[in-house]
Each structure stands twice: as structure tokens, then as C-alpha cells.
Structure 1
Amino acid sequence: MNTPIRRISVVIAMLFTALLVASTVVQFAQVKTLGAMAANKRTLLDNYSRERGSIIVGGQAIAKSVPVDDQYRFLRTYPQGDLYSQVTGFYSYQVGAPYGLEHAADDLLSGDSDSLFVRRITDLLTGRRTAGATLELTIDAKAQKAADDALGASKGAVVALDPKTGAILAMVSHPQYNPNPISSHDLNKAANAWEKLSTDPTKPYLNRTINQLYPPGSTFKVVTAAAALETGLLSDENSEVPGPAVLDLPLTTATLPNENGRACGPNNKTTLIHALEISCNTAFGSLGLELGGEKIRAQAAKFGFGDSLTIPMRVSTSTVPPDLNAPQAAQSAIGQYEVKTTPLQMAMVAAGIANQGKVMTPYLIDSVRSANLDVIESTPDPVELSQATSPETASTLTKMMVSVVDNGSGVRAAIPGVEVAGKTGTAQHDPGKPPHAWFISFAPANDPQVAVAVVVEDGGVTGSEVGGGRVAAPIAKAVMEAVLK
């Protein structure tokens, strides 16, 4: 072979090698990246040609795929419409699956999860079309409906948990939306529906239970009380605390007043339990000054503040800021300044107190089944997130929260024949707007089955706990009754 032919042969061999390497990179190394590209409609068409798994609550589908006679083969439908919209999200050829379980559990619902590998191999060998897994959720259908009805036209969120396991029993966020038009195979209709939803200033697509951060207001006082008891600053619910009409704050000319402008007890003194009953700002502000910001922050962290959680949707992280000076610590102790939390996090606080100080990791998927209903993943074992307080402290806090409902600002959460523990809250936010109304609770207090957090945006009354007690507490009551009955 002469030199020119040898050179041409080497060049051709190099070109074939480059082609082989490039095709290998595309087919193996880049396959997931290319498949996940929003512009890759072939992947989406392939997914539509499969029967996507259903999402089930109480034996009823809240999201399912139905066969249709078009190129997509299956239409994703949401039989309950608005009720579970932030839980399911939507699955749309036009938009994709950017929200809810449709996005967070896409690998299971589409059949691409590693846990379905054996099933996919079996399908390949038998020629059967691959179908996605069915998700059975922890949600209690009656509690979900009760939360939705009770929240009504108000903007806000309701979360209910099983304190002993962390299972999510209700997850309602208002305003809601109907996922069905966005999932339509009429692409113009779907595009218009998405445009309307995505530009709505009230953000109906936002799951306020896990992705909206609010100031917790006076509901955070149970965390401050926990810190005071856990550090030994106070011994029990009858410990004496300051309760002047106005608390002077160091390092500033600002003061911290009580909402009613009066002292919380004779001689500017009161007990810890009475301070919680009437939500005495100056008492808890005083505790904040004595504890300091880091002890408050450390106690909040034990309840889950600062943790990154997935349920499997990503939960926004609740925070207490670091490096608080004295006035900031006092404000943080009553759930103001820059303390921010999700309703789920405050439900976890209530659930942790209910569960003898033990906070369980929240979860939404109860079991995963294959298309022929074989169990792939059964109900998960409860996972302890943290020991937020000792059982003794939890018992003391429970007594105090029961007294809030029996004798204090939470009377509208009372359930005949059931001992209810709760705490009202009013949270200042944007200047000129009414405060948010909060309520956290659990019941029965002696054997808790459900813990609830409610926030009603702009539902409070400035300078009063009335909003939390009048607006939010009845919503929590309705949810607790639905679970207990």
C-alpha cells in the first residue's frame, strides 16, 4: 500500500472512530439531558404514548390518563378539578409538568423510575406497552374537603399531619385552579389556559402550604416557650414572667407593646401559661431578650426550621435569621422581624409537641403500585426528623395549648367531648395591609390523631388576636373533626 492510500485509510479510520464516540456520547452520556430538554417534543410524545400512572386518594383517582384517538394516545385528566390542583400539578404536552406530583414524581408516573426497571424488562420481553406506576397518597379525602370548604373564598393554606407518622392528611392552598384545560390536546386552548394561570397576580399555581413563607406571628410563641423550658430558664407552665403593658427594648428607642395596651397581670407579672392564653407580647419579648437569638434559633431548628425537605415536592426552607441583636431577638420571639415559615413547618411544630417532642418527617406518598396493582413500595416506616423537646416539655406545652382553647384566644377551635390544644396568631407583614391570621392545633390532646396549621392571608385584625381565633381557628376545627369522625 502506497503512502497516499495509507494516509486516506488513517483519515477514514479516524472519522469512523469520531462518529462512534459521538454517537456513544449522544446515546448514553447525554441521553438523560437530551430527554429532559423542554424543546424535545419527541420525548414528550413517547411519554404520552404510555399510560401514565394514576394518583389516588381514598381509592379515587385525582389524576389519571384516559385513552383517546389522537397522536398522543392518552389524555391526562383531573376528575376532582380544583380540589387537588396544587397537590397534583398538571401534565401538559404544551407546558410539560412544572408543578406538583406530576413533576416531582414524574419518573414513577411515567414508568422511568429505577424501581420499575424489572417491570420495563418484562414489558420489553412480552411486547407489552410500558405503563407508569400508580401513587396512593396519605391524604384523608374528608379532611381535604373540610379544609377546602372551611377556607372558602379566603386566600391562604391549610395543612394537616398525623403527628405519630408524619403522613400528610390534608393539603389545601387557595386560590386554586383547574388543571384540565392546561392538559388539553387542543394546544391553543392549553396555551391560553397556561397564559391565564401563569400571569394571574394571585398565583393560583403556588402551593402555599409548602412554597409560601409567612411570618408566623404569635404561633411562634410556642417555640419560644419551648426554648425557655428546655434551657431551664423557666421550670414549668406556672413560672412567673414579666408582663408589662410595654416592653422597653435595648439599643433602640422602639418598644414592644401588648396588643390591648394593658399589662398581662397584676404588678406587671403573669405566668407562662396565662401569657400563652392571652398571647402576651411583652412576656414572650422578655423571654426573647433573656434567651438571646441563638437559643431561639436553635430551638426552632429542632422543630425543622432550616431543613431542606421534599415530600416529594420541594418544600421551601423556613428560617430564623442568625446574629440577632437584642431587639431583633425580642421581635423574633413573638414570630415577627425576619422569622419566615411555611404552613407545613408550623404544622410540624404542633405535631412535634403532640408527639411527646418528637418531630416526624412529613410525607405524601403512602404506596406505589405497578400498572397491574402489584405493590412496588409499601407504606414507608415513620422517620423521626428530630427530638425537638423532651417529653416533659412537650407535656407542659400541651397543657398550655389546651388552656389557650379552653380559656384563651382559641375557644373557637373547641370540639365538644374532645380536648383540643391550639395557639392563635396574628402576623404583621406589608404596611397598610391587615395581618395574616394563624392557628395551629392538635387533637385529642391526650392521644393526638391530627395536627393542623391554618393561615388566612390578610385575615387578621391589626392589634388583636381576633383574626387567629375568629377566622383561622374554626377552619382548624373543621379539619380536626373530619379526621376524628
Structure 2
Amino acid sequence: MISQKRLMFIAIVFLSLILLLIYRIADIQLISTNSFSKHKINLIEESVSQRTHRFTINDGRGYFIDRNGELLSTDVKPQIVVFPSLIKDKWPIAKIAEIVQVKPENLREMLAHFSKPGTLSIQHEITVEQMNKINSLEIPGLYAQLVTRRKPLPFANHILGAVGEDPKLINQKYPDKLDKGTVTITTKTGKNGLQYTFDPFLISEGESQFIYHVDRQGNPLFGLDVKYRSQTNPLYPLHVKTTIDKKMQETMEKYIDFYGLESGGAVLLDVNSSELLAMASRPLFTSKTIFKNEDKMTAQQIPGSIFKIVTAAAAIEDNKIQDNRQYDCNLNIYGKKDERQLGLLNFKESFAQSCNKTFGDLANEITDSNPEWISEYASKLGLLQKNGWSGKIYHLDHFSHFYNEEYGQVFSQKKKIEEYRSPLAISQTAIGQLDVKLTPLAIANMMATIARGGPWKEVKAAESVNFANETELITFSDHEQNSESLSPYTMMRLQALLVDVVKDERGTGHALQSLPFQVAGKSGTAQKGTASTLNNKWFAGYFPADKPRFALVVVDLKHDQTNRTIPIFSEIARELMDISEEN
């Protein structure tokens, strides 16, 4: 026989379970309807969503256009939207088929496969005139509309970036908008690239949709009408006018893929303004590898002989150049026999043919009078700072155009400065080895700075943020360097040296002589260490050399025996000149 205490205990347990169940029901039905669980789910909205058939015409997120007004991140095309719940036998199939120029039987087959709202899969693109004719039929469940869709990831992959759902990021960045209900935890947000940096201006505050409500059996709740819902503010969504040239971006991507560049990329700047015209990085990221494949163009890379430009600038300004002096370029910086055996060369020839011994010797001579010269001149050429545009705009104190851009370095913070004072360490640093790491973006900007004779400017990726009616909300003014820069004479000497790299028959860039215009530039090969069989291979330059318009850097981070950088540079440069003449 069960004791009274045990019965009391069982009764308390059951009562507790019932009270807990009652509280749970009350929490779902009455208390937390607007913010249920740690994910802050709006149960009312979710309930309505289960009884709603919808088709999104525009997700309400802002978009990017290129410098000429061409769409970059989205496509806008006429589409025919179908709501399958409203398909009726009395639809004028023959008339619809005639307008869209398909066979009636094919149209019937298309309609039979719809299980949820979607668009007709017509092989050819319909015209706005056909779209208007469809709408004139006034068929419930069939609507022609300009539909906006995001472009697939491969185009301008890293610079534009991607969007996706990220409840944690939404809670972190937009608590005010969440409280006001203008965004939800499912609102798509920028994950990287310009989509991330410009997210405060691009984030959607309302979609444009066709909406149709049904009951549990799929029958219409509010008649046969499909409702149209859009943002209430006609000035939204905003759009960003970038500095990118769509044709130039396509050209760049075409040739780095054609030559099989697996890791690395290219950067193209306008010489006069230092505005970004195109940028591509490989490997591409996908939705699964979005944070694993960083943008190689804004990340530190070992520059190799590209850094000899810095050493040359310091030697010129410190009056260490003697035109008749010969350097033994049969030796390397270790004093041993060099495999290239370049012979005795003067300074000009050493730069064109990239003799390491010359620049190792000069570096040590400069150090005797100025031990801090390496950092000083690397900074004067803009290589150690972030090169992307940054500043305070609107209500954002630290706004940057480029996502996760890294600083350059000549010395590792993990080592003591004394470790870089030996003659060998100075020589290694002077030729861009040891711990020197620079971003391709910074190197491209250095080339633009030299080409125009200074001053150094921050690289802009966008011109303005605009309202839907084209009125400018924000414009990005040029940011020029205020600190000390190189003298005009040094700039002139560097320009001449860069031209000789291509003009000299033994110069490392002589293969570019075949172009119908003069190129100025510098090659670079950087060893990644004894454990790696692959090197970094560079060519950085500008063109035309006599009237510079474009600064271009190409880098192969998995260089084997095939030199891809020179052919890629050549093909891109040739086509860019054709494009610029068309414009």
C-alpha cells in the first residue's frame, strides 16, 4: 500500500509538470510571442509565414554599380511569376504562349511542375513589352515583374564579397533596428568584402514581394488577390557607386583564369586618383569556404625584388649612387657564386637585371649613416600602412573601404630589432626577403604614386553612397599623405629605372617590349623558405610609361617553373588600353 507521503510527492510532481506545461503554453501564446527562445524568434510572424505563399521580387538590400553605372552585384530582368495555388484550367494558355513565344504544350508542362511560387523557365529573356502584355491579361496568379537577383559569387568574388544570414552579427551590429522591427535575425547581412564594409548602408529594411495567404488545406484566406508589399520609403534601397570598371574587372579575371593562376591575383589602379579599377584574388571562396580563402590582395605576401624599389629610393636620396661604379653580380648576398652569373653591372643595370649583390651592398652602406632607413623609406612609399580609404563618415567613426586589410611589415614583432642589424640580415631585408611582407594593394599604390610623381593617396573602392533617386548621401573625398615623401628628383630617377627593366634587353621585364606601348615596372621572385618548392612571382608596373594611366600588379603565390605573371600582365595591359580607347 502506497504511503501518504509518497502519494503527496507524486501529486506535487504531477502538479509541477502541469504548471510547467501551462507556463510553456502561456510563454508561447502570450508572453514571448515577439521574441521566443535565445534566438528571439517572432512566433506571430512565423505562424503567418507558414500560411503564406510569397515570391520575393527584390530583397530590399542595397546594391553596387560600377563607375559607369553598370550593375555589379545584382541582375534585374523581366520575369513571369507563377502562384501554383491559383493555376486554373480557364487560363488562356494559347494566348500566354503566343506572347512569350513558346509552344502551348511546353507552357502546360512548365506550369505542371510548380509546387511553390516561382518564375517560368523560358530559355530566352522576355522583353518589357512582353511583360506588359502579360499583365494586361489580368490573370490571377500570373504576374510579370522586373525581378532582382544577386549575381553568382565568382564575379569580383573577394572585392564585392557575399551576403548571408547571421543572427549573431545582426544582434551585435543592429540592436536598434531589431528593436524597431526594421530588420529581423533572418535579414541577410554582408559576410566579407564590400558587402561587409558597406553593410550599414546596404542592409535591407523591407523586401518587395508578392504575397498570398492560405489556410491549412491551401485554400485562399482573403480571396484570390495576391498582395504586393514593398518598402514604404521611396529613397531606399541605397546603392554604392564603386570605382570599379566592370569591363576591366572581367578582363582581369579572364586572363588570370586562362593562365591557370591558382593562388594569387591582380590589382589595377587609376594612376591619377589611386582609385581601384579592378581586383581579383584566387582561389575563389564559396559559401562553404567564405572565411577560409582570404583576399590575397589585401593580405601580407613576401615581395622579393619588388622591395628593391625602396632600397633604390633610399640610395638615391642618400647620394649613394655612383654611375660608374661596378658591382660583382657573379656573387650573391652570401658572397658565394650566384647561379645567374650576371657579371659586373652598374646601378642602373643592376636594377634592370635584379642583381641581389648590388642592393645588399648599398643597403649596408646606407645603414652606416641611417640605421632606420628601411622602415623610413618603406613608409614614405606607403608600404607599411593600410592603403585602403578609411575615415569618419556619417555616424561611423572608423569606416574602411577594404575588408580585413593588413598592414605591411619589414621586421617581425616576434624578433628583437638587434636580430636585423647584421650585414646579412640587412642585405636580406633590402631585397625583400627575411621578414618583409607587403600587400599587393600597397605595392600597386606605390606604383601609382611613382608613376604620377607623388603624393601618396589612399585607395578608394567607392565614389559615393546614393539614394534610390540618385541623390548622393555620402561622397568619399581623396585622402592624401601629409607626411614627408620622396623628392621629385628621386621620383624621376625611379621612373627611369622602372622603364629600363623593360627596355633593357637583359631586363627582367624585357618580354613586355612586344606591347605597342611602353611599360615601366619591376619583377620579383620571393623564396618562401627551405621547406617550400614554390615561390612568389611578381610583376608590378604602370603604363603607358610616357603618360601613365594604369598601375597593375600581378602575383603568383604558387610559382613553379612557369612564369604566369608576365603573360597575364601583358594580356591585361593590352586589352585595358583597347577598352580605354573605346571609352
Residue 145 of structure 1 corresponds to 250
Q: Which position in structure 2 is the counterpart of 1:105?
A: 198
Q: Normalization by structure 1: what TM-score? A: 0.72
Counterpart residue type for residue 110 of structure 1: I
**Residue identity opposite 2:245 in structure 1:** D
Q: Which SS does the other structure have where 1:458 is aligned?
A: strand
- Supply the distance in 1 between the matched residues of 2:198 and 2:75 (Cα, whole angstroms): 15
Q: 2:278: which partner in 1?
A: 170
Q: Distance in 2 between matches of 1:133 and 1:348?
A: 29
Q: What is the alpha-carbon distance in structure 2 between the residues aligned to residue 246 and residue 41 of structure 1?
A: 70
Q: Does residue 222 in structure 1 map to residue 309 in structure 2?
A: yes
Q: 2:165 is matched with which residue: 62, 74, 93?
A: 93
Task: Specify whether residues 353 and 111 from structure 1 end up closer, same or farther in structure 2 by C-alpha distance, changes over 3 A only.
Answer: same
Which residue of structure 1 lines up, in the alignment, with residue 365 of structure 2? 290
Distance, in Å, in 2 between the alignment partners of 1:398 and 1:329 is: 25
Q: Shift of the alpha carbon at 1:111? A: 7.2
Distance 1:339 1:308 in 2: 15
Superposed, which structure 2 residues align to 1:112-191 within 5 Å? Answer: 127-128=232-233, 131-152=236-257, 153-155=260-262, 156-177=264-285
1:246/1:302 CA distance change after superposition, 3 Å: same
Give the Cα–Cα distance (whole angstroms) in 2 for the partners of residues 365 and 484 of structure 1. 23
| 2:385 maps to 1:307 | yes
Aligned mates of 1:60, 1:172 — CA distance in 2: 18
Q: Following TM superposition, by how much is the alpha carbon of 1:381 offset from its aligned partner in structure 2, in angstroms? A: 3.7
Change (3 A) 1:259 1:450: farther
Letter of the aligned partner of 2:576 in structure 1?
V
**Mapping of residues 185-264 of structure 1, within 5 Å:** 194-195=287-288, 197-198=289-290, 203=292, 205-210=293-298, 212-234=299-321, 238=323, 240-247=325-332, 255=335, 258-260=338-340, 262-264=341-343
Q: What residue number does 2:65 align with?
A: 56
Cα distance in 2 between the residues matched to 1:51 and 1:284: 56
User: Which deviates more from structure 2 when the two are superposed, residues 452-461 or residues 332-341?
Assistant: 452-461
CA-CA distance at 1:478 after TM superposition: 2.6
Sort the Cα spacing of 1:331 and 1:423 in 2 relative to 1 into closer, same or farther, 3 A.
Answer: same
Deviations 1:441-467 (A, max 9, x none): 101112210111111112254xxxxx6
Q: Could you tell me which residue of structure 1 aligns to residue 411 of structure 2? A: 321
Gaps of 5+ in 1: 1-33, 113-125, 179-193, 249-253, 462-466
> Counterparts of 1:460 and 1:275 in 2: how far apart (Å)?
24
In the TM superposition, what are the counterparts of 1:384-395 in structure 2 within 5 Å?
384=481, 388-395=485-492
Number of matched pairs: 390
Could you say which structure has the greater relative contact order, defined with CA pairs below 8 angstroms and 6 or more residues apart?
A: 1
TM-superposed deviation, 1:259 = 4.3
Distance 2:363 2:160 in 1: 40
Distance 1:439 1:162 in 2: 17
Shift of 1:480: 2.5
Give the Cα separation in 2 of the matches to 1:89 and 1:41: 28
Structure 2: any 5+ residue segments left out of the alignment?
1-34, 47-56, 84-115, 118-145, 167-187, 206-230, 390-400, 579-583
Q: CA deviation at 1:223?
A: 1.3
After superposition, give the CA deviation of every residue in 1:206-246 in whole Å (9 maximum; x if it has no partner).
Answer: 21111x211101111111111111222226xx352523422
Q: What percentage of aligned pairs have identical amino acids?
A: 26
Give secondary structure in 2 for the equivalent of 1:367: strand
CA RMSD of aligned residues (A): 3.2
Pair 1:474-2:567 in alignment: yes
Give 1:415 shift: 5.3
CA deviations 1:368-408 (Å, max 9, x no partner) are 21012212234634634665421211111111111111221
The aligned counterpart of 2:527 is 428
Please identify which structure carries the higher helix content: 1
Distance 1:386 1:78 in 2: 42
Aligned 8 A contact 2:386 2:407 in 1: yes
Match of 1:439 among 524, 530, 539: 539
Q: Amino acid of the residue matched to residue 555 of structure 2?
A: V
